[in-house]
Structure 1
Amino acid sequence: MVVTMLENEARKAGHALSEPVVRPVDPKATARTDWRELFSGIYRKRTLMIWMLWICVYMVNNGLITWLPTLYKQTFNLPLQASLAYGWVTSAVGVVASILCALLIDRVGRKRWYSWAFLAATVPLVVLTALGAVSATQVVVFASIAYAILQTISFSLYLYSAELYPTRLRAIGTGFGSAWLRAGSAIGPILVGWIVDNYGVSYVFTVFAAVALIGGLVTIFFAIETKGRVLEELSP
């Protein structure tokens, strides 16, 4: 009798364990995407903030990487091969910085990293302005440092953008934000050409320093930290 009762209880327990657990579905998880939500509630500030970060970082970095080889050749009269090699150095340093960012940014946090990166990038750009950018060596050293620092931001902005929105808005929010990198990438080279024609080479780095500073201030005052936070709670 006792054995039979134990066997029945075991069968019931096994049957209970085998039954699937049904969890209620959050209606927000299946809600339809509405782009207008990007500009309402808590997401309005996030949307405008991330757009500014995209514009600032790509205006400087794309402006630098597309203009520097021309600067080396036309202003400093370097051979084409040397000009391209100097440009390659800047790109290579950016790759190394991106790898370091990937290893460290989760420990530091997005907001703190971006704030320091924007502000730190202004230093070599201001130094170039003060020195007058009179030699290719000056430019390749200090411009590469600025580019590498800002590359850590452009490298990880896709990740940060996705963390700012819930599932129903993640694709459109990230897509809209990254679309502004095209605007920044287009403005950078145009701005470089206009400044060089009207004011001179050194002032290009002054303007780029100002843009990086704006990016840093926007991050400090408007960005939110996502380190160690659950996405469902961060972006309801």
Structure 2
Amino acid sequence: MDTETTPPDGAAHDTVEAAVRAQLSKALGGVRGMVEAAVPVIAFTGTYVLLEEVRLAVIAGVAAAVVLLGVRLAQRSNPQFVMNSLIGIAIAAFFALRSGRAEDAFLPGIILNAGYGAAMLFSIMVRWPVVGFIIGSVTGDPTAWRRDPGIVKLCSRLTWLLLLPCVARVAVQYPIYLADGDQSGLLGAAKIAMGWPLQVAALAAMVWLLARGRTPIERGRTA
């Protein structure tokens, strides 16, 4: 095992673009993190479509998340993303079991995306785009980035790219949720299709945007 000391996040990056690119990739958990978010949803939806039994579908979704968590723990790797998935499926299970309607398992995700979208839009409007705080975490000064209009503009564009998938999910999934009849199969398909694929598309757009700039990082002084 490599015993060299790992530098702090961002220490190896000399530009704003490189630091943001690295931090965004870390925040999304890479391919494995996105797969771990999708598997429990697939298990829940697939089981319900086949058996039309909410309780069994919940068990399948939670069991899938627990298995993924067990693999992480056995490998002694970071369980953060699978824990997020487990918490998410547990909340979805609570909603579905409480009402007995499989569609209600997807309501928390719709609400969460609406909340994220509203928060990011507000941050852009007040010129405190949330991506800017990634730069603050690298430089050691959480607000110094706001003194550079160019960086504020870049962070606003990046925050828009994070915001758009949230808006798309709500715009597509909420009308399906409100439609008459059992929409759980369609909601499950929409959630999977608009989950990590949209996230990958947003990240690809960010990487393209970031690849065009070379804004030097000015690190804050520690007291």
Fold match (TM-score > 0.5): no
TM-score, normalising length: structure 2: 0.31
TM-score, normalising length: structure 1: 0.30
Q: Which has the higher contact order (CA 8 A, sep 6+)?
A: 1
